[in-house]
Amino acid sequence: MAKIGILTGGGDCPGLNPVIRAVVRKAHNEGYEIIGIRNGWKGLIENNTITLDLASVSGILPKGGTILGTSRTNPYKKEGGVDKVKETIRALGIDALIAVGGEDTLGVASRLVKDGIPSIVGVPKTIDNDLSSTDYTFGFDTALNTAMECIDRLHTTAESHHRIIVVEVMGRHAGWIAVEAGIAGGADIILIPELPIDIEEVCSLIHKRHSRGKTFSIVVVAEGAQFKEEDMVTQEQKLDEFGHVRLGGIGEKIAALIEKKTGYETRVSVLGHIQRGGSPSAFDRILGTRFGVKAVELIKNKKFGRMVALAGKNIIDVSLEEAVKELKTIDKELYAIAKEFFG
């Protein structure tokens, strides 16, 4: 019986368990055996696996996170890492591998395809929605709804206290969560990584709002937003194995400037990992399920080096190499719509 390995790597997100369940169920229907690899690429370096049978995926559909665990391990940054990955794959008798991840995990998958492990299929996930070649990644919709609900809650307290509240959301170098949660939650200003922050404009929009009788404002800022000539605000400078810094803190900076320049009392709320947790939305459960089934179909048809993707209403497959080439940043037309409601 052919064996399929599956791993989840990088930041977790809601929808990973629906993918794992779908892969196991579809693989079972097709007569494949499935091996779960723990903690992303780390599990292949350390030969750390679990058996995935029908019983082990029963009841996981509504669960957030990943039953396989995850890590930000990059085998290309570990001494002998790639050789260990190859060794484990050989030792376990894995015929094909499904890598579920974002730009980093899938970037490794794409390199491994060229470096002697050709039978890999990618499944795109991330709350950031920043992967090109797919209209949506699962995880984004749940994070977006969580952020929207938080903005709703912050509205009532901002209004009662006549305050400005700055809401910092995740998204790394793309403004998808900020823009979509901002539109859905009725933000008065949205600041994104794709456009430099102009604090004078922010303050003048707040003044404009106050001059028409409003006594509060909600400013949504993406963690990766930055001032023109300044570096991104980070929690620490140390780079992870994929060369990323830990973003966070721009909300505090903006809030202090707004209070100083406008005189209005200002507070900041950093949503952080709350956006990554919790039960997946219906959209993410369905997308994850469709991706999982399609990934096994690709293996069945020996279409390797491919990534499953959403194009309009259809699930398609695209080149893994192309998919990780560049990030998908915000749609300018969508931001233009958000701007109609600023101030």
Shortest spacing between CB 303 and ligand F6P, in angstroms: 27
Task: State how far the alpha carbon of 213 is from the alpha carbons of 198, 208, 210, 341, 342, in Å.
Answer: 24, 9, 5, 16, 15
The answer to the question of residue 128 lying near ligand F6P (CB under 6 A) is: yes
Contacting ligand F6P within 45-64 (CB under 6 A): none
For 74-91, the DSSP string reads -GGGSTTHHHHHHHHHHH
| Identity of the residue, 171 or 251, whose beta carbon is nearer to ligand F6P in the bound complex | 171
Please identify which of the residues 53, 95, 115, 128 carries the catalytic annotation. 128
Is residue 265 within 8 Å of residue 259, measured between CB atoms? yes
Sign of CA dihedral 44, 47, 48, 49: positive
Could you give the CA distance from residue 176 to residue 198 in angstroms, rounded to a whole number? 19
Among 4, 247, 268, 309, binds ligand F6P (CB under 6 A): 247
Shortest spacing between CB 233 and ligand F6P, in angstroms: 12
Shortest spacing between CB 63 and ligand F6P, in angstroms: 18
The answer to the question of residue 276 lying near ligand F6P (CB under 6 A) is: yes
Could you give the CA distance from residue 18 to residue 227 in angstroms, rounded to a whole number? 39
Q: The tokens of 31 are what?
A: 């007569």
| Identity of the residue, 288 or 305, whose beta carbon is nearer to ligand F6P in the bound complex | 288
Could you give the CA distance from residue 7 to residue 96 in angstroms, rounded to a whole number? 12
Shortest spacing between CB 77 and ligand F6P, in angstroms: 15
Q: Point out which span in 55-63, 122-130, 184-192, 293-301 binds ligand F6P (CB under 6 A).
A: 122-130
Q: Which helix (H) or strand (E) holds 332?
A: helix 332-339
| Identity of the residue, 175 or 305, whose beta carbon is nearer to ligand F6P in the bound complex | 175
Could you give the CA distance from residue 326 to residue 323 in angstroms, rounded to a whole number? 7
Which of helix, strand or coil describes residue 244? coil
The answer to the question of residue 172 lying near ligand F6P (CB under 6 A) is: yes
Could you give the CA distance from residue 191 to residue 26 in angstroms, rounded to a whole number? 42
The answer to the question of residue 250 lying near ligand F6P (CB under 6 A) is: no
The answer to the question of residue 170 lying near ligand F6P (CB under 6 A) is: yes
The answer to the question of residue 127 lying near ligand F6P (CB under 6 A) is: yes
Q: Which residue of the chain is nearest ligand F6P when measured via CB? A: 170
Among 126, 145, 226, 269, binds ligand F6P (CB under 6 A): 126
Residue 314 CA to chain centroid, in angstroms?
21
Contacting ligand F6P within 295-314 (CB under 6 A): none
Q: Point out which span in 148-156, 170-178, 278-286, 325-333 binds ligand F6P (CB under 6 A).
A: 170-178
Could you give the CA distance from residue 164 to residue 259 in angstroms, rounded to a whole number? 8
| Identity of the residue, 146 or 266, whose beta carbon is nearer to ligand F6P in the bound complex | 146
In sequence order, what are the residues at sequence separation of 6 or more whose Cβ sits closer than 8 angstroms to the Cβ of residue 81? 41, 45, 74, 75
Contacting ligand F6P within 75-104 (CB under 6 A): 102
Q: How many CB atoms lie within 10 A of CB 167?
A: 25
The answer to the question of residue 192 lying near ligand F6P (CB under 6 A) is: no
128 labelled catalytic: yes
Shortest spacing between CB 168 and ligand F6P, in angstroms: 11
Residues that bind ligand F6P (CB under 6 A): 11, 102, 126-128, 170-172, 223, 246-247, 276
Question: Which residues are marked as active site?
Answer: 128
